[in-house]
Amino acid sequence: MLEKIESNEILDRLPAHLKQFIKPQDYSEYSAINQAVWRYVMRKNVDYLSKVAHKSYLEGLKQTGISIDHIPNMYGMNRILQEIGWAAVAVDGFIPPAAFMEFQAFNVLVIASDIRQIDHIEYTPAPDIIHEGAGHAPIIANPEYAEYLRRFGEIGCKAISNAKDYEMYEAIRHLSIIKEAEDTSIEEIKKAEDKVEYLQNNMGEPSEMAQIRNLHWWTVEYGLIGTVEEPKIYGAGLLSSIGESAWCMTDKVKKKPYSIEAAKQEFDITKPQPQLYVTPDFAHLSSVLEEFANTMALRRGGLEGIRKLINSKNIGSIELSTGLQISGNFTNVIEHGNDTVYFQTTGETALSYRNKELVGHGTHNHSEGFGSPIGKLIGINLAIEDMSPRDLKAYDIYEGEKISFEFAGGIKVQGTIITGTRNLQGKIILISLKDCTVTDNDAVLFQPEWGNYDMAVGKEIVSAFAGPADALSFNLITHKPSSTTIKSKKNSEKLELETLYESVRNIRDGENAKFSLQATFDLIKKYHSQDWLLAVEIYELVIDKDALLSQEIKDYLSQVKKNRTEVAHLIDGGIELIEDSLVTE
């Protein structure tokens, strides 16, 4: 899919399972109305955010080449982002959280390339280029924050989901799409909102992914920095929302010191947030992230980790104390004294070491699953992995010998050793046997007619995480979203309005225009009396050049405010911005 995208060395490193989410940015799809929406939001934001945003925001706008007047082109953004070690790709709306975070781990900013409709100019529940390009991109120019973002992605993509997380992702994606789309019925939106609310109330114990997604929301998306009494904005959701960036600074929004407790605080993506978290500095974000990572199966492993993988019903991996990694769908665990003594996968499974698949142990070798005991042998203090060649000889653990291993909990392995696989330190990580029987007391777990048996070697599970150890072991290019973003409809009235916006844009850029400013304004009054933004744009161009027309426009906008009270504050904000800038020139 990257053939239509100007790539660079950062994008070239992306694995195929991430590239499946990328779509080319068709810049020609942005209408003059889209450009005007971008320009209005950016002018309002920069004016206001210069007072309340973290200093990295305005500095980052310059460093990342984000223009106030033009929707950013991905080609240009990538050339500039590459200078700070990052890249950007366009996607279609929300993508699965694990994929989003993995992009971050590769220093790639994911940008939903659609742009909000004019009726949602203050806030949209759907990710768009204003949110991503004008919100996320500027802040990553701060090296300390950029490293936090990268590290968050690295840890976050290993977080284990539960079976309901993906259902929630699809429900939120669908809701965000139909709320942003034109002409969606109230009934359809209500139905989608009810489904999200139902899932939120019936998720059960929050998974690792749900909790780390909360941390992402309260920092990367809706974070404040400084003190609770005098915070500054750095979260992209606030930086890209005219309404919420102002709302969040009022006393109506509770401010809390940021801590690991934020992992338990759920959020509603479709509404303004009732509380926000304030970090004293960017270094504190990384400290909380590491604190949370210490609670994850990624670092804790053990019986709890494998239980999480079973509950996830997705491909996951465990790593044993020898470094052997087993990846697949974990379906069963036998425990003894709160320890794992046997684990089982079902279906395609791969064995790896240091995230590289072991030769002869891919999914075609283990197509029907993999099971193995782990731990120490009964009656022997020394674990197999810790045995020297002399110890192995003493316990008859070498090629050609018939063995009978008994593990804790009644797991027995009997067979003839074919060979052993060792890690870089020379420790045995895998023992292959023939004529092998594996039993759990009276239950048969493996029998000779099934073929040769590979027994994992390890005292314990030191890590458990989502996804395969080696991404190349599995076919991960399978993502098919249940819904796609809905493009704005273009009837004859809309097309005519776009032509008028195009004329004003051309005049501003010093290019030939189909209509003069006066003719454009006359046509707005006659045929497009619901529109307000184009009149504001014309007012900006004539305020110091044509007193009669500028007054006529102000009178017209006053009438629009009476007819459309919901946009009155937007009109006032646009006029105020224009008049204030005239005074300061």
CA angle 94, 497, 484 (to 5 degrees): 20
Do 533 and 429 fall into the same domain? Answer: no
Is 562 among the domain residues? yes
Cα 265 from chain centroid (whole Å): 18
Name the pTM for this structure.
0.88
Report DSSP letters for 53-97, one per residue: B-THHHHHHHHHT--SSSPPPHHHHHHHHGGGT-EEEEESS---H
Number of domains, the chain? 3
- Provide the 3-class DSSP secondary structure of residue 508: helix
Whether residue 487 is contained in a domain is answered as no
**Torsion-angle region of residue 162: left (phi > 0), alpha (psi -120 to 50) or beta?**
beta
At how many degrees (to 10) do helices 533-542 and 568-584 cross?
20
C-alpha span between 211 and 46 (Å, rounded): 32
| Same domain as 507, residue 431 | no
> Shortest CA distance to 68 belongs to which of 31, 43, 44, 35?
43
Contacts of 284 (CB under 8 A, 6+ apart): 258
Question: Do 190 and 67 lie in a common domain?
Answer: yes
Residues 469 and 364 in one domain: yes
Give the three-class secondary structure for 344.
Answer: strand
- How far is Cα 291 from Cα 299, in angstroms, rounded to an integer? 11
d(CA 186, CA 189): 5
Domain check: are 330 and 453 in the same one? yes
Is residue 479 a part of any domain in this protein? no
Name the packing angle between helices 208-216 and 97-105 (round to 10°): 60
**Would you give the distance in Å from CA 419 to the centre of its chain?**
43
Decide: helix, strand or coil at residue 424. coil
Instruction: Provide the CATH number for the domain around residue 19.
Output: 1.10.800.10
Distance CA 56, CA 66 (A): 13
pLDDT score recorded for residue 515: 93
Give 31: exposed, middle or buried? Use CB within 10 Å, 0-12, 13-18, 19+: buried
106 in the same domain as 51: yes
CA 360 to chain centre: 34
Q: How many residues does the chain have?
A: 585
| Pair of tokens at residue 30 | 């942005």
Instruction: Please check whether residues 544 and 461 belong to one and the same domain.
Output: no
CA 220 to centroid of chain Cα atoms:
10
- Predicted pLDDT of residue 83: 86
Has residue 301 been placed in a domain? no
Whether 469 and 496 map to the same domain: the answer is no
- Cα 75–chain centre separation: 22
Q: Is 228 exposed, middle or buried (0-12, 13-18, 19+ CB in 10 A)?
A: middle
Q: Are residues 148 and 121 in the same domain?
A: yes
CA 476 to chain CA centroid, nearest Å: 17
The answer on 269 and 184 residing in a single domain is yes
Whether residues 469 and 503 share a domain: the answer is no
Q: Residue with structure tokens 């006393």? A: 251
446: part of which helix (H) or strand (E)? strand 443-446
CATH number of the domain that residue 459 is part of: 2.30.30.100
Query: By the 8 A CB rule, do 104 and 150 touch?
Result: yes
Q: How many CA atoms does the CB half-sphere of 559 hold within 13 Å?
A: 10
Of the candidates 258, 291, 324, which is a domain's last residue? Answer: 291
Q: Answer yes or no: are the C-beta atoms of 222 and 276 closer than 8 Å.
A: yes
User: Of 424, 440, 473, which closes a domain?
Assistant: 473
Whose tokens are 């006529």? That residue is 552
Taking CA atoms, 403 is separated from 279, 414, 435, in Å, by 58, 6, 11
Q: Do the domain assignments include residue 344?
A: yes
The residues facing 334 across adjacent strands are: 342
Q: Which tokens belong to 8?
A: 């660079």
Pick from 473, 502, 536: which residue ends a domain?
473
User: How many angstroms separate the CA atoms of 541 and 558, rounded?
Assistant: 18
Q: What is the DSSP secondary structure assignment for residue 290, as one 8-state letter?
A: H
Q: Which residue has the tokens 């590979």?
A: 454
Domain holding 264, by residue range, is: 2-291
Instruction: Specify the DSSP element, H or E, that contains 464.
Output: strand 461-466
Residue 433 domain-assigned (yes or no): yes
Q: How many H helices and E strands in the chain?
A: 23, 17
Contact 66, 138 (CB under 8 A): yes
- 459: in domain: yes
The verdict on residue 415 lying in a domain is yes
Q: What is the spatial distance between Cα 110 and Cα 140, in angstroms, rounded to a whole number?
A: 12
**Token couple for 487:** 């493009």
Q: Which long-range contacts (CB under 8 A, 24 or more apart) does 230-235 make?
A: 231/255, 231/276, 231/278, 232/52, 232/53, 232/54, 232/55, 233/49, 233/52, 233/53, 233/54, 233/57, 234/53, 234/54, 234/56, 234/57, 234/139, 234/145, 235/135, 235/276
Residue 289 three-state SS: helix
Is 448 in the same domain as 325? yes
Classified as helix, coil or strand, 385 is: helix
Longest Cα separation, the chain: 103
Residue 430 sits at φ, ψ, to 5 deg, of: -155, 135
pLDDT tens for the chain, residues 1 to 585:
344 556 678 999 999 999 999 988 889 999 999 999 999 999 998 888 889 999 999 888 888 878 899 999 888 888 888 888 999 999 988 888 899 999 999 999 998 888 988 988 887 777 889 887 788 888 998 999 999 999 999 999 999 998 888 888 888 878 877 877 777 888 988 898 888 888 877 777 899 999 999 999 999 999 999 999 999 999 998 988 888 888 999 999 999 999 999 999 988 776 788 999 999 999 999 999 999 999 999 999 999 999 999 999 999 999 999 999 999 999 999 999 889 999 999 999 999 999 999 999 999 999 999 999 999 999 888 999 999 889 999 998 989 999 999 998 889 999 999 999 998 888 899 999 999 999 998 899 999 999 999 999 999 999 999 999 999 999 988 766 666 665 666 778 889 999 999 999 999 999 999 999 999 999 999 999 999 999 999 999 999 999 999 999 999 999 999 999 999 999 999 999 999 887 665
